[in-house]
Amino acid sequence: KRAEAAKAATGPAATADGERISVLANIGGPADVENAVKNGAEGVGLYRTEFLFLDRADKPSYAEQVKAYKAVADAFPGQKVVVRTLDAGADKPLPFVSTEEEPNPALGVRGLRLAFKHPELLDEQLRALAEVQSESTADLWAMAPMVADMRDTEYFVDKAREAGLKTNGIMIEVPSAALTAGHLAKVADFFSIGTNDLTQYAYASDRQVGALARYQSPWQPGVLRLIGAAADGAGAEDKVCGVCGEAAADPILACVLVGLGVKSLSMSAPAIPMVKAALALHTVEQCREAADAVLGAVSAEEAKDIARAHLPRLE
């Protein structure tokens, strides 16, 4: 079994009964591509473009953006590359954008919300992505961070479409978006759940505050239920729901996520082989049974124990 799993880790990802699951890499820029490919990434599930914008006095030019996005897209011919538009503001300030001091930066003008005040930044980024889409064979998907409601979703999808982008989706990282996923899935082409922020907002616990670490587990029953709600909403509209938060890098939780209806998993590159191996050891039915049982847990610890009992091949 273990040898089979190790072999499965280098090929395309699938469950034991042959259901294909995309296993993708989270990257911060072209420098991360080599490691993603080396670890068997089937594409990029989260390209955090903010790294191109942070820690510099001036905005990256249009040409600079095209160059960076194209370098990533060209490394994955014929494969999926999900590019997240600028996720800055608040605690990740940009010197070339005036932002106000905020009492609660995590609840402030960040992510897509920054575009409401400075639409030119998003517009230029979308134009750069559209150019890369037309010049590369990668399957380029555009995605907005920090989407809370339908108005946010429409705002982004309309703009991306106007720019000529073909596949335009949203991150699910605010609880309101997970709970209203059925509506948002009518407008967004896909979802990608950001479990890091989803956990922070669901448990009202700043992800940068170590003293609150206990709440910061994607195994928390409240987080698992929100993930289930998001996947159900996407499924009802035949839209792909992925996970690109750290939860996807945990091999046991990855199987539970598949059981909840998640079709793509994106993670930091070194986690890819283990997650592929874990998927190859279990059928979708086993993942579903584990997910159903885990949804009954009263604590993160119990959720983990239940998952382990249902997915014993991972021990």
The token pair at 288 is 């579903």
Q: How far is the CB of 34 from Mg ion (least distance, A)?
A: 25
Interface with ligand PEP includes 254 (CB under 6 A)?
A: no
**Identified binder of ligand PEP from the candidate list 196, 212, 222, 305, rule CB under 6 A:** 196
Distance CA 85, CA 299 (A): 34
- Find the binding residues for ligand PEP in span 24-83 (CB under 6 A): 46, 48
Q: How far is the CB of 196 from ligand PEP (least distance, A)?
A: 3
**Identified binder of Mg ion from the candidate list 32, 131, 152, 197, rule CB under 5 A:** 197
In the block, residue with structure tokens 């990257």: 27
- What residue is closest to ligand PEP based on CB? 194
Closest CB to ligand PEP among residues 111, 306:
111
- Find the binding residues for Mg ion in span 162-191 (CB under 5 A): 173
Write the binding mask 101 to 140 for ligand PEP: x where contact by CB under 6 A, - elsewhere. ----------------------------------------
Distance CA 202, CA 220 (A): 10
In the block, residue with structure tokens 């086993």: 286
**Identified binder of ligand PEP from the candidate list 244, 253, 287, 303, rule CB under 6 A:** 244
Q: How far is the CB of 309 from ligand PEP (least distance, A)?
A: 27
Interface with Mg ion includes 89 (CB under 5 A)?
A: no
Residues that bind ligand PEP (CB under 6 A): 46, 48, 87, 173, 194-197, 244-245
